[in-house]
Chain A
Amino acid sequence: MLSQGHHHHQHDHSHDEPDAGRLVRIEQELLGKNNAYAMQNRAYFKEHNIFVLNLVSSPGAGKTTLLVETIKTLKDRIPIAVIEGDQQTEHDADRIRATGTPAVQINTGRACHLDAHGIGHAVMDLGAQDNSLLAIENVGNLVCPSSFDLGEAHKVVVLSVTEGDDKPLKYPDMFHAADLMLINKTDLLPYVDFDIERCIDYARRVNPDIQIIRLSSTQGENFSAWTDWLLAQMQALA
């Protein structure tokens, strides 16, 4: 410990003027605490062989419907649990529970994203099974959730064709952070002005490694490409 009241020269200070204060080097990540919790979560998920996806999108891209259809397709093959993030209401968790799948709702209140600490608690509340799939549906927001590692294996960004095809350029951080982009609601392509090739080109400029699957959750078009991807990732991890 340092003695009180006097500056000694082993301190890291830049000059000796008493009133100017001294310099303390910190060099610490602003998200260091979140990242530490995310590492804890990741270690827990690894130990219990829980495959975790963090689903992100703008509001209304179809994350909950995608999850409900995914659960219907896979629930007889693998145990699934869901963490739902919204600012308010239990609506989404109720939709998941209606399929017979356990779900915990996190209401973030005024916050615009889920964080790793909250996920750690939700996983305990949920009692997620070993060798299972855990889907985290993040708050509908293409900005803030991109910065917060939750301990997931992959971020999956859902973009629907009723949005603009230039979203990857408008919100590059999220497409940069995601490993997979699902282009959802492809059944509506004939009715909207959405250039799917342009969208893919934009996404690859932001993230050359991003994988892309086009599908329709409600009509089932190409839905198996998504569930196949999911099962293959789980197998690779196990």
Chain B
Amino acid sequence: MHELSLLENVREILESHAQSQNFAKVTRVTLEIGKLSCVEPEALRFGFDVVMQGSLAEGAELVITEASGIGLCRQCGRQSVIETLYDPCAECGCPYVDVVQGAEMKIKDLIVI
């Protein structure tokens, strides 16, 4: 369950911005989670309220945007959508594909008061 450690990082990051960005409460947190990252959005949703309790983001809404996976084929050089780290190139079927998008695990933005 490293989703809990990740949520603790979310809490630390938003607390670290509270002073410099002059806010006292966070009402919405938007995360970007790539489809090929090893994080389960459902587990983040499950833990979010608990981890944010007693923080600036207690009761905040959690929005997760999922970045799709994109692979670059080593054979034909074209990009295609991949659902897993082992999907072949959708263009030519070559099994060797490098990930160019989908590994993201980021806080994108906050709505604050």
Residues of A within 8 A of B (CB): 1-2, 4, 19-34, 111-113, 115, 143-144, 146-148, 168-169, 172-173, 176, 202, 204-208
Contact = CB atoms under 8 A, between A and B. Distances in A.
Nearest to B84: A172
B109 A169 contact: no
Interface string B28-69: 100100000111000000000000000000000000000000
B111 A20 contact: yes
Interface string B2-16: 100110011011100
Interface residues of B, number: 39
B80 to A, nearest CB: 15
A98 B14 CA distance: 46
A26 B107 contact: yes
A11 to B, nearest CB: 8
8 nearest A-B pairs in the assembled complex, by CB-CB distance: A144-B2, A208-B96, A172-B85, A173-B38, A205-B86, A21-B111, A30-B105, A26-B107
A173 B85 CA distance: 7
Given A24-B21, A176-B85, A205-B95, A31 B111 contact: no
Main SS class of interface, B: mixed
Given A22-B112, A24-B109, A204 B95 contact: yes
A29 B105 contact: yes
A2 B1 contact: no
Nearest to A141: B2
B10 A112 contact: no
Contacts of B97: 208
A32 B21 CA distance: 19
A13 B47 CA distance: 28
A28 B107 contact: yes
Contacts of A4: 22
A30 B85 contact: no
B110 interface: yes
Interface in B64-111: 74, 84-86, 88, 95-99, 105-111
Contacts of A25: 108-109
A22 B99 CA distance: 34
B106 A143 contact: no
B47 to A, nearest CB: 13
B108 A27 contact: yes
Contacts of A31: 6, 9, 105
9 contacts: A4-B22, A24-B112, A26-B108, A28-B107, A29-B106, A111-B2, A147-B39, A208-B95, A208-B98
